[in-house]
Amino acid sequence: MNYQKIDAFLSDALGEEPLTDDPDFIVFIRTVKPPDLEQIEELKRLGVKDASLERNIFSAQISSRAISQLSDKSWIRLLSLSQKLQPLI
């Protein structure tokens, strides 16, 4: 796991539990530049189903193991935890 590519909120959310394959984390995945075809396949394999050539930021619900693997990729810029917002009541 490369924590230099994991934001503070996701780092906290990962806790100290062992890595699992349960898709427990709603995240944003930011690549250094729009991914190529091979990188798109890798992203899809790890649960990022809407990966495409046109952009470099995606959202997905993935596992801690997938987060760990993605963080070790040189073409990944940052993995961020999705934040819970609120209606402005």
Per CB under 8 A, does 63 bind another protein?
A: no
Q: Segment contacting another protein (CB under 8 A): 31-39, 62-70, 80-88?
A: 80-88
* 3 within 8 A of 71, measured Cβ to Cβ: yes
Residue 80 in contact with residue 15, Cβ under 8 Å? no
Least Å distance, CB 26 to another protein, is 5
Interacting residues of 66 by C-beta distance below 8 A, sequence separation 6+: 21, 23, 46, 47
Which residues contribute to the site for another protein (CB under 8 A)? 1, 3-9, 11-12, 14-16, 26-28, 30, 49-50, 55, 57, 59-61, 78, 80, 82-89
